[in-house]
Amino acid sequence: MRTVVAKFGGTSLADAGQFRKIRQIVKADPDRRFLVASAPGKRFADDIKVTDLLLACFEKADAGLPFDGELARIRDRYQSILQELGLDFPLDAEIAGLSEHLASAPDREFTASRGEYLCARILAQYLGFTFVDPAWCICFDANGDLDMGMTKRALGASLKPLKNAVIAGFYGADEDGRIRTFSRGGSDITGSLAACAIGADLYENWTDVPGLLAADPRIIRKPRTVDFLSYRELRTLSYMGASVIHSDAVLPASDLGIPINIRNTDNPSDPGTMIVRKLPKGQTKKPVIGVAGMTGVSVIQVEKVMVSDGSGFSAIMLDILKQRCLPFEQCLTGIDTITLVIRNDLLNPCKDDLMDEIRRELNPDFLGLKENLSVIAVVGEKSTEDSSANVRVLEALTSAGVEICTINQGAGKLNLLIGVPEEKYRDAIKAIYATIEEDKENHI
Ligand code: ASP
């Protein structure tokens, strides 16, 4: 018998109808023994996710304001699911407990985690599966970082004896028993950890899209759904904003080579996107898997004659960033130049100060700052093996009148990273997509 871990996202649990779809999906394959549940998400465009309602409760409680309105909305969301599914569940007692917590010493992470806690308990009851509370087996350290070794052991020990289970996503607890959450969308990480802890054959990630899209659908109408890609390609695309799965969810599954399958709850017969270490025999994939990007970055350019003479200039530059705990997206060094790409939200609070420090410490011949840029990643392990795709991408940008501010391709040849002015970001994505797909019809 195979073992499949299936994670269901917020829209897949948004109402009773979605719970019924999950039951069908689980019944259709008895290998789907371990499920991970997110909190109920949006039922329609203007709806509010339960996690956001919980956070709104916390903000109000923390400010000493009444939070009853938001709490009542949360109760109603669960009540309508329970009522339609005909389940007898102690919802009022749970909500009363949460209300008491909020009124006494409210904790942000505990409050945020209650969406998954309640949802997983209800799903477990509905399916007749065991409920597993990750507070017992997803272990964080005192700083709120995941303790991977301990989690693998504790989660494996909790799950292995069970025939089947529903685990709440998104949270765990530290050594003191305090609830800790991952960043938003973190139930994906829980799913990957569960798959890793029990050595699953497959990690399914059920969501509301057909799979990973080759480009942002807000820019490209009906982009291609990627059928196969590697973990490295997925990690890059999701880091760069392709939002199908949390970027930190890739590592635990990829460590053990567990394939990740992105599936659509509304269309379960669709094979979705398969993320693998190696393509199955006979499968080929497109050289360029997809294109993604992030806006809101700046470029710092430092020039000094003899930068590359081994005097430690680059090391001093990186040390300045390290001392400030300021991460960078890219660091390009050339003859007598260093170029740093940094996110605006991190740079802006310390921009002037940082520029002064660079001037003071490095005494550069030239120091420049270009703001309002975006970085685009053209991703595909195969595409960069021969340079024709790179050439086509750069030609397409030039023909579209997009200034190329930075170019970066490491020896790993996984992706080509290109910095372009923010106002040209959409044009750049369209030009690149058109050239990689040879399709000019799909622009929005
Ligand atoms: N419910 C949390 C969120 O909205 C976590 C998750 O859905 O994975 O971010």
**Ligand 1 center–CA 352 separation, angstroms:** 36
Q: Is residue 282 part of a domain?
A: no
Q: Which is the closest atom of ligand 1 to the Cα of 49?
A: 4
Question: Of 254, 276, 298, which closes a domain?
Answer: 276
- DSSP symbol at 178: -
Do 265 and 377 have their domain in common? no
Mean of the pLDDT values across residues 63-85? 97
Do 298 and 229 have their domain in common? no
Do 151 and 245 have their domain in common? yes
**Ligand 1 center–CA 291 separation, angstroms:** 25
76 pLDDT exceeds 60?
yes
Do 423 and 359 have their domain in common? yes
Q: Is residue 399 part of a domain?
A: yes
Lookup: tokens for 394 = 């750069």
CB distance 185 to ligand 1 below 6 Å:
yes
| Per-residue pLDDT tens digits for 288-319 | 889 999 999 999 999 988 766 666 888 889 99
Residue 35's closest CA among 149, 127, 113?
127
3 pLDDT exceeds 90?
yes
| Per-residue pLDDT tens digits for 157-171 | 999 999 999 999 999
Q: Which domain holds residue 46?
A: 4-276
Q: Which is the closest atom of ligand 1 to the Cα of 116?
A: 1
CB distance 429 to ligand 1 below 6 Å:
no
Do 180 and 243 have their domain in common? yes
**Ligand 1 center–CA 111 separation, angstroms:** 13
- Can you tell me the distance from the alpha carbon of 209 to that of 212, in angstroms, rounded to the nearest whole number? 8
Question: Of 217, 250, 276, which closes a domain?
Answer: 276
278 pLDDT exceeds 90?
no
Cα-based distances in Å from 230 to 196, 254, 380, 414: 17, 9, 9, 10
| Per-residue pLDDT tens digits for 424-439 | 999 999 999 999 887 4
Do 166 and 113 have their domain in common? yes
CATH number (domain holding residue 78): 3.40.1160.10
Mean of the pLDDT values across residues 364-371? 94
CATH number (domain holding residue 352): 3.30.2130.10
CB distance 192 to ligand 1 below 6 Å:
no
Lookup: tokens for 415 = 């992706």
Q: Is residue 303 part of a domain?
A: yes
Do 266 and 310 have their domain in common? no
pLDDT of residue 309: 66
pLDDT of residue 386: 64
Mean of the pLDDT values across residues 346-360? 95
Q: How confident is the model at residue 236 (pLDDT cuts 50, 70, 90)?
A: confident
Q: In terms of DSSP H, where are the helices of 12-107?
A: 16-28, 50-62, 68-85, 91-104
373 - beta bridge partners?
297, 421
Question: Of 276, 307, 325, which closes a domain?
Answer: 276
If one residue of 13, 47, 51, 247 were mutated to test the ligand 1 pocket, choosing by the most ligand atoms within 8 A of its CB, it would be: 51
The better pLDDT of the pair 392, 54 is held by: 54
CB distance 169 to ligand 1 below 6 Å:
yes
Helix (H) or strand (E) holding 377: strand 366-379
**Ligand 1 center–CA 57 separation, angstroms:** 16
372 pLDDT exceeds 80?
yes
367 pLDDT exceeds 60?
yes
**Ligand 1 center–CA 49 separation, angstroms:** 9
**Ligand 1 center–CA 53 separation, angstroms:** 12
343 - beta bridge partners?
297
Do 311 and 263 have their domain in common? no
Q: Is residue 281 part of a domain?
A: no
Residue 195's closest CA among 231, 239, 245, 159?
159
**Ligand 1 center–CA 154 separation, angstroms:** 23
Do 208 and 308 have their domain in common? no
Q: Is residue 258 part of a domain?
A: yes
| Per-residue pLDDT tens digits for 377-418 | 999 886 656 678 888 999 999 999 999 999 988 777 788 899
What is the percent of the chain where pLDDT is above 70? 96
Could you tell me how many residues make up the chain? 444
Do 67 and 162 have their domain in common? yes
247 pLDDT exceeds 90?
no
CB distance 118 to ligand 1 below 6 Å:
no
Lookup: tokens for 410 = 């490491």
Q: Is residue 332 part of a domain?
A: yes
Cα-based distances in Å from 56 to 96, 179, 185, 271: 17, 18, 17, 37
Q: Is residue 89 part of a domain?
A: yes
442 pLDDT exceeds 70?
no
Do 227 and 296 have their domain in common? no
E strands in 111-216: 130-132, 165-168, 171-173, 179-181, 202-207
Q: How confident is the model at residue 248 (pLDDT cuts 50, 70, 90)?
A: confident
Centre a 10 Å sphere on the Cβ of residue 366 and count the other Cβ atoms it contains. 10
| Per-residue pLDDT tens digits for 94-131 | 999 999 999 999 999 999 999 999 999 999 999 999 99
Do 366 and 236 have their domain in common? no
The better pLDDT of the pair 441, 200 is held by: 200
The better pLDDT of the pair 342, 241 is held by: 342
CB distance 39 to ligand 1 below 6 Å:
yes
Please count the structural domains in the chain.
2
CB distance 181 to ligand 1 below 6 Å:
no
Write down the pTM of the prediction: 0.84
Q: Is residue 285 part of a domain?
A: no
Lookup: tokens for 430 = 């369209």
CB distance 51 to ligand 1 below 6 Å:
yes
| Per-residue pLDDT tens digits for 184-211 | 999 999 999 999 999 999 999 999 999 9
Q: What is the mean pLDDT of the chain?
A: 92
pLDDT of residue 310: 64
